[in-house]
């Protein structure tokens, strides 16, 4: 590869989704020079761009907000924090109106604007416009490959690859925010192809910790030929190939039973959904806020609310799970100085606990963690000053970058990615976790990791692909290790050999290490649980 081009900024943001956009806005408003590097095109990258995100939108009346927090705490299985929830709700309420000049909000029918739900494509386009208007610089198709560290161990930049110009880039920054999204394990989930766990891998290589990785058992149902969004399926009925209705439990409190019933049905043969009994207003709502869902049917000449159609479950991994880089303070800092995390790259346990924050809570978290991390990164960079941020930087990346062997073919990469996908998202393994199954997955993933970490692509784009594969396999290892280590059932993590929750494990589980994974209890949550 050619000599790298140099980039300098007070704050470097890695990623291009909702969290990255709000981080860029927040940092630019604080007067910093901001550079965003995205592996795709900021505004179309990630799962938000294809969605109609519904934020956790609660008016500022104390009783309403307390009720919202209480409801969420009841489903968090002891791992969420009411103070964090209150902050996230408040930041979301105050931030969304900032988009008035950049997003065409719809009427709420009462003379005001409807702000709770936004159309994903227009939302991210408006967010990009807002950030660049404030002075943020966006570099599209610039995937980051590894972080750079100063002599004192703090993070001071990143190295990456310019896909269009086929050259390397090197960024020096006062602080770095990882807003790279979660990991969908290349399941086909709409918008998730670029969500390969890159931020987790870069963060751990720098010394950051992970939390909540066991809570990754989440799936969305879609037409079998293409992943779409799940809003229409709230009132669906399901049938087998003979037209016999299946007994599939419904309701937010029966999610596991719902998934198990569908998994058993898929093992027998194709499953079909029928949306005849959907609320009358739903077709217009779906067309308004989730147009990609409607298009998938219209291209096949189907009416999703009249025609019965085959469905499939698409794994969501840590995107709708709750795991990610551990947050150590109220400003979304990781355990490494100069490194912050936002959105699905960070753990969402603070607001979601052990159950998915998919939908309102995750969207509010992406927004608010972006705002918090952007502001805190500027503060960190300013305190350090340019003098402390100069000097030599050490490249921290390993797997897929500095191998012991020379090459990994494209077929090797795809095979390794499939291993990561199957060991984490296979319905039987994910929904029926038990020691012997998890132990077998451990062995499979360790073998895959030994090969992955010592492989590299043929050229610049090949290195990007090899790095994505390394992140996928590494993330699978962390998810599996966390599931094996939590010997109880809690939230979306269910162990058939430990079917009940253990009061002694009402704490977060912290993972560290790359080749050797270590797990420990989060003393803070353990102390809070015992108080």
The answer to the question of residue 175 being in a domain is yes
Which of 262, 293, 315 represents a domain boundary (last residue)?
315
pLDDT above 50: residue 313 = yes
Do 242 and 259 lie in one domain? The reply is: yes
Cβ partners under 8 Å of residue 365, min gap 6: 88, 343, 346, 348, 351, 352, 357
Q: What is the pLDDT of residues 394-436, one digit of tens each?
A: 999 998 888 766 555 666 889 999 999 999 999 999 999 999 9
Is there a domain that residue 423 lies in? Answer: no
As a whole number of angstroms, the distance between CA 363 and CA 442 comes to: 32
Cα separation, 180 vs 195, in Å, equals 7
Give pLDDT, residue 531: 41
Alpha-carbon dihedral sign for residues 400, 405, 411, 416: negative
Could you tell me if 263 and 370 lie in one domain? Answer: no
Does 308 share its domain with 375? no
Residue 526: pLDDT over 70: no
* Cα distances (angstroms) measured from residue 427 to each of 264, 367, 431: 9, 31, 6
* Residues 138 and 49 reside in one and the same domain: yes
89 phi-psi bin (left φ>0, alpha ψ -120 to 50, beta other): alpha
Give the SS3 label for residue 303.
Answer: coil
Residues 55 and 173 placed together within one structural domain of the fold: yes
HSE-CB at 128 with a 13 A cutoff on CA atoms is: 21
Q: In this structure, are 286 and 354 located in the same domain? A: no
Please name which of 41, 17, 396 lies closest in space to residue 201, comparing C-alpha atoms: 396
Q: Evaluate whether residue 60 is within a structural domain.
A: yes
In sequence order, the β-bridge partners of residue 196 are 183
Does residue 530 carry a pLDDT above 60? no
Structure tokens at 99: 């988009």
- The pLDDT mean for the chain works out to 92
Examine residue 177 and state whether it is found in any structural domain, yes or no.
yes
For 15-34, what is the mean pLDDT? 97
Kindly report the CATH number assigned to the domain that includes residue 64. 3.50.50.60
Structural domains counted in the chain = 2
Residue 123: what pLDDT? Answer: 95
Question: Is residue 54 located within the same domain as residue 198?
Answer: yes
**Residues of the chain above pLDDT 90, percent:** 77
Same domain assignment for residues 190 and 87: yes
Q: Exposed, middle or buried: residue 152 (CB in 10 Å: 0-12, 13-18, 19+)?
A: exposed
User: Residue 278's pLDDT is what?
Assistant: 86
For residue 489, being part of any structural domain is answered with no
pTM here is: 0.95
Does 505 fall in a domain?
no
Q: For position 248, which CATH number holds?
A: 3.90.700
Each residue's pLDDT tens digit, 225-243: 999 888 788 779 999 999 9
Tell me, rounded to whole angstroms, the distance of Cα 459 from its chain centroid: 28
Report the distance separating Cα 89 and Cα 57, nearest Å: 7
Q: Which of 391, 458, 414, 377 is nearest to 172 (CA)?
A: 391
Rounded Cα distance, 423 and 429, in Å: 7
Instruction: Count the alpha carbons within 13 Å of 8 in the hemisphere toward its beta carbon.
Output: 3
Query: What is the C-alpha to C-alpha distance for residues 193 and 198, in angstroms, rounded to an integer?
Result: 12
Is residue 117 domain-shared with residue 207, that is, in the same domain?
yes
- Once rounded to an integer, what is the mean pLDDT over residues 489-503? 95
The phi and psi torsions of 107 (rounded to 5 degrees) equal -75, 145
Containing domain of residue 275, as a range?
A: 219-315
Residue 348 within a domain = yes
Question: Of 376, 391, 406, which closes a domain?
Answer: 391
| Final residue before a domain boundary, out of 275, 291, 315 | 315
- Straight-line distance from the first to the last Cα atom of the chain, in angstroms, rounded to the nearest whole number: 56
Residues 180 and 324 in one domain: yes
């Amino acid at each position: 590869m050619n000599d790298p081009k140099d980039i300098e900024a007070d704050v470097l943001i890695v990623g291009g989704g909702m969290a990255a956009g709000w981080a860029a806005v927040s940092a630019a408003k604080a007067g910093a020079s901001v550079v965003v590097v995205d592996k795709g095109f900021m505004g179309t990258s990630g799962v938000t761009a294809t969605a109609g995100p519904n934020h956790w939108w609660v008016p500022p009346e104390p009783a309403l907000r307390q009720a919202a927090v209480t409801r969420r705490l009841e489903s968090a299985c002891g791992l969420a924090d009411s103070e964090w929830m209150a902050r996230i709700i408040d930041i979301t309420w105050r931030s969304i109106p900032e988009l008035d000049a950049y997003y065409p909000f719809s009427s709420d029918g009462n003379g005001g604007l409807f702000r709770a739900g936004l159309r994903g494509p227009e939302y991210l386009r408006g967010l990009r416009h807002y950030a660049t208007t404030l002075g943020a610089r966006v570099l599209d198709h610039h995937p980051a490959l590894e972080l750079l560290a100063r002599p004192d161990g703090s993070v001071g930049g990143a190295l990456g690859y310019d896909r269009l110009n086929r050259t390397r880039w090197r960024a020096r920054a006062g602080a770095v925010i990882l807003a790279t999204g979660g990991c969908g394990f290349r399941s086909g989930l709409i918008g998730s192809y670029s969500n390969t766990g890159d931020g987790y891998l870069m963060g751990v290589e720098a010394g950051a910790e992970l939390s909540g990785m066991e809570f990754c058992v989440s799936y969305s149902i879609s037409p079998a030929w293409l992943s779409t969004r799940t809003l229409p399926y709230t009132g669906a009925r399901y049938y087998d190939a003979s037209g016999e209705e299946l007994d599939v439990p419904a309701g937010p409190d029966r999610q596991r039973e719902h998934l198990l019933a569908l998994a058993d049905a898929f093992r027998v043969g194709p499953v079909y959904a029928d949306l005849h009994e959907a609320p009358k207003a739903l077709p217009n709502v779906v067309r308004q806020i989730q147009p990609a869902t409607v298009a998938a049917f219209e291209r096949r000449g189907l009416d999703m609310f009249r025609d019965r159609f085959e469905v499939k479950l698409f794994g969501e991994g840590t995107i709708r799970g709750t795991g990610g880089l551990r947050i150590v303070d109220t400003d979304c800092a990781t355990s490494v100085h100069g490194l912050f995390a936002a959105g699905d790259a960070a753990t969402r346990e603070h607001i979601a606990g052990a159950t998915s924050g998919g939908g309102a809570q995750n969207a509010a978290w992406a927004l608010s963690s972006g705002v918090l991390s952007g502001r805190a990164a500027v503060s960190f960079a300013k305190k350090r000053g340019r003098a402390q941020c100069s000097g030599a930087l050490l490249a921290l990346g390993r797997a897929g970058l500095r191998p012991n062997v020379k090459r990994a073919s494209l077929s090797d990469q795809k095979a390794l990615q499939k291993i990561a996908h199957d060991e984490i998202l296979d319905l039987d393994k994910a929904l029926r976790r038990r020691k012997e199954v998890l132990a077998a997955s451990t062995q499979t993933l360790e073998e895959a990791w030994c090969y992955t970490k010592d492989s590299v692509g043929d050229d610049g784009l090949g290195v990007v692909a090899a790095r994505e594969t390394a992140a996928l396999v590494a993330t699978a290892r962390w998810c599996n290790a966390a599931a094996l280590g939590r010997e109880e059932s809690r939230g979306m993590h269910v162990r058939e050999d430990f079917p009940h929750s253990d009061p002694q494990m009402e704490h977060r589980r912290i993972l560290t290490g790359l080749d050797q994974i270590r797990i420990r209890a989060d003393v803070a949550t353990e102390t809070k649980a015992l108080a």
